[in-house]
Amino acid sequence: MKKENDPGKPDAGHETAHQSRQKYGMVIDLDKCTGCGTCMVACAAENNVAVRADQTDKERTITWMNLYKITNGKKFPHTEVSYFPRPCMHCDHHPPCVSVCVASATKLDFNTGIVSQIYTRCIGCRYCQAACPYGARYFNWWDVFPQDKGMDRYLSPDVSPRMRGVVEKCTFCHHRLMRAKSQAYAEDRRELEEREYVTACTEACPVEAITFGDLNNPKHRVSQLIKHPYAFRLLERLGTEPKVYYLSSRDWVRKLADNFLPGEYEPVVNRTWAADEWSTKPGRDEF
Amino acid sequence: MDSPLLPYGVKRCTPGAFFLWTLPWLALLAWGGLAAVLCLWKGLNQTHMSNVFAFALWIVFDLAIIGLGAGAFFTGFLTYIVGRKELKSIINTAVVIGFICYSGAIAMLGIDIGQPIRGWFIFWHANIHSMLVEVSFCITCYLIVLTIEFVPLILENRQIRKVRELRLVGHNLHEIMAVFAATGTFLSFFHQGSLGGMFGVMYARPFAAREGFYIWPWTFFLFVLSAIACGPCFTILCTKLTEFLSRKKLVPDDAIQFLAKMSGWLLALYMVLKTFDYLGWIYGIVPRAGLTFMDFFNEGPYGVWIIVAEMVFCGFLPAIILLTPAGRKSQGWLIFASLLNCAGIVLNRFLFIIVTPAIPVMPFDRFRSYLPTWQEWGIGMAVVGYGFLVFSLAYRYLPMFPKETELNPLPVE
Amino acid sequence: MTPFSFEWQWNIEYVIFFGLLYIALGLIGGGITFVAIKTALQVFGFMRERDFHD
């Protein structure tokens, strides 16, 4: 009998142009990101993320997509600012949170590369939160969708709201994948088109800083973008193999994405974004 | 009033005095009970835990008392498996302490998880690759073993002994105690270890991560060693406190001295291995993560002093005192060294549980701080109150110190 | 925990982990059963009650 967490072998009759294992991932262009926060709002609305009347306690609010503001630490007029959207990295190699989960409530799906969370299985021990270096996991400290208050009318019917006392995280809008798959199945297609399944944040970004797709599929733009010399990942040297990539032409931004010993960081180019306006040049994305 | 319940040939305080003595501990229990009700009813927002400090004060209490309670399994091992006869005068104390520590820890864990009703998922839907699953299984099984070890002592109560069936149960349990002690040693070894493994396997947290052997990070072995190094010292401290409060000698010196010497050797071995562990971490894990040792202490109140305190003042210093015959034979130095030894294990657990999340991994993140709420302190202190209460009841009504009558003969009337 | 929960896999890791667990539980359960039977036999006089010396 095939077990649910089998690594998933390719089906014999499944003929695709690329490897049968999909590996959904994201590329976020930090040079384009304006820090408007639309991704956060879209994510919260799409995924029924709990919002309380008072959201000031930032260590206990839930933001699957979190936006960090980083600066190069220099004084005016040399100050530069960048915004750093941080969804779950959906680590591809031995995700730190998966192996520690006591109740098998979180899994890395080998067929899609998505790290899932089963809310009704989670016991709320929070070991996964302790193990995640990105702070991408959030605990439900409160009951946020009280019944009989009319809050349920604002909920998306595709995503289950979470109960108090469980951990939740970005799922790469997994329900959208399910929906796209159902549509493809109804149309007797075996493969999804590139834009057919994208996350809410990808769709909402007004400057199209976020690109989403199958990293294993050479036809998808993400699979080319990650080969860009400006591409990097957050805390890459820890070995978690994140499937979220970032692009930035600015060295200080790339340098802030990981820890480096003195002299370890090798700049890609020595010119900064301010100097050559690389990111605004047409044709950059056609790399 | 309760004299028919007291063991033969011993002197105990009056029921009134005993009642007054239990009041502060009952107050702590009431405080903790209120906090527990609030946490279970309103949720963990009653605490100051956060998405950054997912593990906090309760886990420090848990790991600390489980480490301190390790005297039970180690003394049991030495008494029943190795056959050290002199330890029979202290094994009951060790078992009672172990029972208090483990039952207290499990009760705390029940409140600590966000969905206590789903607690059984740990067992039923176990993810065997998680160190916490190993901890849960071993801790629960070991609590059963400790209960079995505790039961014969309860059945030794003067009134219960009069019931023939119960007395027989107690005796028969006692006869095969080696089987339970061996099982307990096995279980305890693995859960003390996996408590350490829990932190060592967090490979994306450079402050806690460690390399290791096969599936076990070095913290696995170091936690076992540190627990058996400080557990006996905690047993000594509890005995000395009881002796101080009851103003009489309860355990012969040979048992105390043997435990102290054992503790000293184990602590010395632990400190040597811990030094290698720190060196391996500083020159291996830390630079591989792109960090230097000092990077961890850039911000916040935790500095290198905390490591120095753990290693030198609460590690090498008590080890030297305990290994020097003159040091451990002097009452004051023995207690001082035991206190430092126990403080060292608490500090070690604190480093792994609180300092790890406080130090950011992402370079643009910042240092976080955390202070527990009264609800968190309440539940922690309730375990202390529970411990004092159970220990006092056991001391008053059960022959916990078998040599008490021999060491303190009552005047012939 | 048992082959009836769906996470169960018939591989060596599961056999070792749960094998050791069930051995430990078996020893505890066996010990208790032994004591129960022995006590029952002594209570009902099928077995001689030994004096307990310690």
Q: What is the pLDDT of residue B413?
A: 56
Q: Average pLDDT in the B179-183 region?
A: 93
pLDDT (0 to 100) of residue C36: 95
Please, which residues have CB within 8 angstroms of residue B159's CB and are 6 or more apart in sequence? B4, B5
Q: Is any Cβ of chain C less than 8 angstroms from the Cβ of B85?
A: no
| B21 touches C: beta carbon within 8 Å | no
Which residues of chain B make contact with A94, given a CB cutoff of 8 A? Answer: 203
End-to-end CA gap in chain B = 20
Asked if C4 is an interface residue toward chain B (Cβ–Cβ < 8 A), one would say no
Give me the pLDDT at residue A18, please.
45
Interface contact flag, B187 C24, Cβ < 8 Å: yes
- B380 DSSP β-pair partners: none
A276 pLDDT band (50/70/90 cuts)? very low
pLDDT 10s digits, A173-187: 999 999 999 999 999
| pLDDT score at B1 | 74
Scanning A77-136 for CB atoms below 8 A from C yields 104
pLDDT in tens, A102-117: 999 999 998 999 999 9
The pLDDT of residue A287 is above 50: no
pLDDT in tens, B209-233: 999 988 899 999 999 999 999 999 9
For residues B265 and B78, what is the distance between their CA atoms, to the nearest angstrom?
15
Provide the token pair at B406.
């021999």
Total beta-carbon pairs less than 8 A apart between chain A and chain C: 6
pLDDT tens figures, B117-166: 999 999 999 999 999 999 999 999 999 999 999 999 999 999 999 999 99
Give the tokens for residue B205: 């947290």
Check CB contact under 8 Å for A59 and B368.
Answer: yes
CB B52 within 8 A of CB A59: yes
Q: Which of B396, B384, B385 is nearest to B154 (CA)?
A: B396
Q: Using the beta-carbon criterion (under 8 Å), do A104 and C9 form an inter-chain contact?
A: no
Q: How far apart are CA B208 and CA A130, in angstroms?
A: 10
Tell me the domains of chain A and their CATH numbers: 24-286 (3.30.70.20)
Task: Grade residue B198 by pLDDT with cuts at 50, 70 and 90.
Answer: very high
Band the pLDDT of C5: cuts 50, 70, 90: confident
Spell out the domain ranges in chain C.
Answer: 1-46
CB of C43 within 8 Å of a chain B CB? The answer is: yes
Residues in chain B within 8 Å Cβ distance of A103: 118, 121-122, 125-127
Q: Which residues contact B179 (CB under 8 A, 6 or more apart)?
A: C27, C31
Beta-carbon separation of C7 and B173 below 8 A: no
pLDDT at B411: 76
Among C25, C31, C32, select the one facing B141 at the smallest CB separation: C25
CA distance readout (Å), C42 to B8, B108, B151, C46: 26, 41, 19, 6
Mean pLDDT of B361-378: 93
The verdict on B399 touching A (C-beta cutoff 8 Å) is: no
ipTM value: 0.92
> What integer is the mean pLDDT of A155-176?
94
Report the helix count and the strand count for chain B, using DSSP H and E. 18, 2
Q: Does B363 touch chain A (CB under 8 A)?
A: yes
Those residues whose C-beta lies under 8 Å from the C-beta of residue B332, and which sit 6 or more positions away, are none
Subunit contact A100:B130, Cβ cutoff 8 A:
yes
**C28 CA: distance to closest CA in chain B (Å):** 7
Which residues in chain B are contacts of C42 at CB distance < 8 A? 168, 172
How many Å apart are CA C35 and CA B165, to the nearest integer?
11
Q: How confident is the model at residue A269 (pLDDT cuts 50, 70, 90)?
A: low
pLDDT tens for A230-245 read: 899 999 999 999 999 9
| Distance separating alpha carbons of residues C54 and C52, to the nearest angstrom | 7
Tokens found for residue A222: 């993400």
Question: Could you please report the per-residue DSSP string of A246-265?
Answer: EE-S-HHHHHHTS---TTT-
Predicted local confidence at residue C3, as pLDDT? 82
Whether the bond into A77 is cis, omega within 30 of 0: yes
Specify whether the CB–CB gap between A65 and A43 falls below 8 A: yes
Q: Is the pLDDT of residue A4 over 50?
A: no
pLDDT in tens, B243-302: 999 999 999 999 999 999 999 999 999 999 999 999 999 999 999 999 999 999 888 888
Question: Does domain B49-370 fall into CATH 3.40.1190.20?
Answer: no
Nearest Cα of chain A lies from the Cα of C26 at a distance, in angstroms, of: 23
Checking DSSP bridges between strand A106-108 and strand A115-117, what pairing results, if any? Answer: antiparallel
Share of chain A above pLDDT 90, in %: 69
The pLDDT assigned to B266 comes to 96
Residue A12 has pLDDT above 70, yes or no: no
Is the separation of the CB atoms in B322 and B363 below 8 Å?
no
CB contact under 8 A, A104 and C7: yes
What are the extents of the domains in chain B? 1-48+374-398, 49-370
Q: What is the pLDDT of residue A146?
A: 64
* pLDDT(A11) > 60: no
pLDDT (0 to 100) of residue C50: 67
